[in-house]
């Protein structure tokens, strides 16, 4: 099923409802995500797979840019990613992470990002809230069904034009593809 609205079953973050007015999509914002055949992205706070080729792709795309992540994704990484400006979204006013810019709400994050290129790197809560706001998607599709507990939200492929597509087989035998999309102009 294609859903254009947020499914009610998703937990709604307090800041989403209290402070956040949906804005127009911004061309400088891009989601970058890897998911499997079922849009699975996570398992027990980690990636369900180890695919160095995808990590290299992620690094090549994000190096030198701003990256924005949710608190839980930051803790799963354990440290800021090098050679990138790390922004963390968390409503916890007591949380400060050395080397990272703390954003307490989406409007605050958008203010920090300004007109700079920024990759929204997850996790699910962040992807769900930023999907209406980004102008680009970088999706690594892994042609396999993993087990896990966290999924990328459903989205309407009709709202996106493919700019780039590359298929490969990893050294461990996974068939993956790198897909880049731009939002269809309205
Ligand atoms: N496959 C991939 O490409 C990929 C990429 C990234 C992550 N992941 C996976 O995704 C999973 C984590 O995703 P997740 O959804 O559990 O967590 P998450 O999105 O990383 O972080 C959620 C946290 O972000 C904060 N937050 C969310 N919306 C906010 C808002 N509007 N304002 C202020 N703070 C906000 C909240 O922290 P507070 O409670 O402190 O407010 C919330 O608990 C992990 O399994 C990870 O490995 C996969």
Q: Two tokens at 110? A: 């958008």
Q: Two tokens at 120? A: 């929204």
Distances, alpha carbon 78 to alpha carbons 46, 75, 81, 97, 100, in Å: 11, 5, 9, 10, 12
Q: Is the CB of 48 under 6 A from ligand 1?
A: no
68-88 pLDDT, tens digit each: 999 999 999 999 999 999 999
Question: Which ligand 1 atom minimizes the distance to the CA of 44?
Answer: 45
Per cent of the chain over pLDDT 90 is 86
Query: How far is 128 from 125, CA to CA, in rounded Å?
Result: 5
144-153 pLDDT, tens digit each: 999 999 999 9
So what's the pLDDT on residue 118?
98
Q: Is the CB of 31 under 6 A from ligand 1?
A: no
Q: What is the pTM of this model?
A: 0.91
C-alpha angle 138-141-147 in degrees, rounded to nearest 5: 125
So what's the pLDDT on residue 12?
38
Q: Is the CB of 70 under 6 A from ligand 1?
A: yes
Query: How far is 105 from 116, CA to CA, in rounded Å?
Result: 18
How many CB atoms sit inside 10 A of residue 114's CB?
Answer: 9
If you ran DSSP here, which 8-state letter would residue 8 be given? T
So what's the pLDDT on residue 24?
82
Instruction: Among 51, 122, 142, say which to mutate for ligand 1: greatest number of ligand atoms within 8 Å of CB.
Output: 122
So what's the pLDDT on residue 7?
31
> DSSP 3-state assignment of 56?
helix
Task: State the average pLDDT over residues 47-65.
Answer: 98
Q: Is the CB of 177 under 6 A from ligand 1?
A: no
Task: State the average pLDDT over residues 169-178.
Answer: 98
Task: State the average pLDDT over residues 24-51.
Answer: 97
116-157 pLDDT, tens digit each: 999 999 999 999 999 999 999 999 999 999 999 999 999 999
- Name the E strands within 123-174: 134-142, 150-151, 160-169
At residue 185 the predicted structure's pLDDT band, cuts being 50, 70 and 90, is: confident
Task: State the average pLDDT over residues 22-44.
Answer: 93
So what's the pLDDT on residue 16?
46
For residue 20, count CB atoms less than 10 angstroms from its CB and return exposed for 0-12, middle for 13-18, buried for 19 or more.
middle
């Amino acid at each position: 099923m294609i859903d254009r609205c947020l499914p009610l079953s998703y937990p709604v973050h307090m800041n989403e409802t209290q402070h956040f007015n949906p804005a127009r999509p911004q061309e400088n914002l891009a989601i970058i995500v890897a998911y499997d055949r079922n849009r699975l992205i996570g398992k027990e706070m980690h990636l369900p797979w180890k695919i160095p080729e995808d990590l290299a792709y992620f690094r090549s795309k994000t190096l030198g840019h701003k990256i924005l992540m949710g608190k839980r994704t930051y803790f799963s990484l354990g440290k800021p990613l090098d050679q990138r400006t790390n922004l963390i979204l968390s409503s916890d006013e007591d949380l400060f992470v050395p080397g990272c810019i703390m954003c307490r709400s989406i409007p605050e994050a958008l203010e920090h990002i300004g007109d700079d290129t920024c990759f929204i790197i997850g996790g699910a809560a962040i992807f769900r809230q930023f999907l209406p706001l980004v102008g680009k998607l970088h999706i690594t599709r892994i042609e396999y069904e993993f087990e896990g507990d966290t999924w990328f939200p459903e989205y309407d492929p009709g709202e996106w034009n493919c700019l780039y597509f590359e298929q490969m087989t990893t050294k461990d035998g996974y068939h993956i593809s790198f897909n880049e999309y731009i939002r269809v102009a309205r």
